[in-house]
Amino acid sequence: MTPRIGVLALQGDVREHMHALAACGAEPVAVRRATELAAVDGLVLPGGESTAISKLLEVFELLEPLRQRLREGMPAYGSCAGMILLANEVLDTRPDMHTLNGIDMTVRRNAFGRQVDSFETDLEFTGLDDGPVRAVFIRAPWVERAGADVEVLARVPSGPAAGTIVAVRQGNVMATSFHPEVTGDLRVHRLFVETLVRPRAGV
């Protein structure tokens, strides 16, 4: 079965995720309406501007349908802004921002600094073979608190932010601070697609 995976297409780097999903054997679908959300097996929440995406979720009447699908166990993956949206608590953001409560974590928005502080590094990533992942951080968040049921998949290996959590998974929901869709390395997307093809035990 080919999984039909939506990419939230309200703002952000939608096209790159759709290309990565297609290369992993999934059928990517742009999601802008509740009817489109209802027709997919899983969802990717792309990088972009988290407060803008939060507002657009309301405008397009997707906020509650998306929260409901997550409560029902829909697999989801969020990169950068997507990680922020999937948290149940966000620091350094607007008070009117809406979160989706997909992962029991506290995320700090723009934790690594401004656009000029964007950087790349190699990460050891739990569950991925063939060496470290080249991670691109662009005005990225980090995870300040991960709940007891949250699996930490990657941490920053060195530098001032050494040990900081930048990739997590809880059940069928995964999130990364960085942008794997811009490097050509498909392993993170493939790991997510496998969640739909082979659901994880105990989920």
Which residues are designated catalytic? Answer: 80, 179, 181
Rounded CA gap, 17 and 15, in Å? 5
Q: Are 7 and 31 in contact (CB under 8 A)?
A: yes
- Cα–Cα distance measured from residue 159 to residue 54, given in angstroms and rounded to the nearest whole number: 32
Residue given tokens 């989801």 in the structure block: 76
Distances (CA, A) of 76 to 43, 72, 87, 164, 175: 5, 12, 12, 22, 8
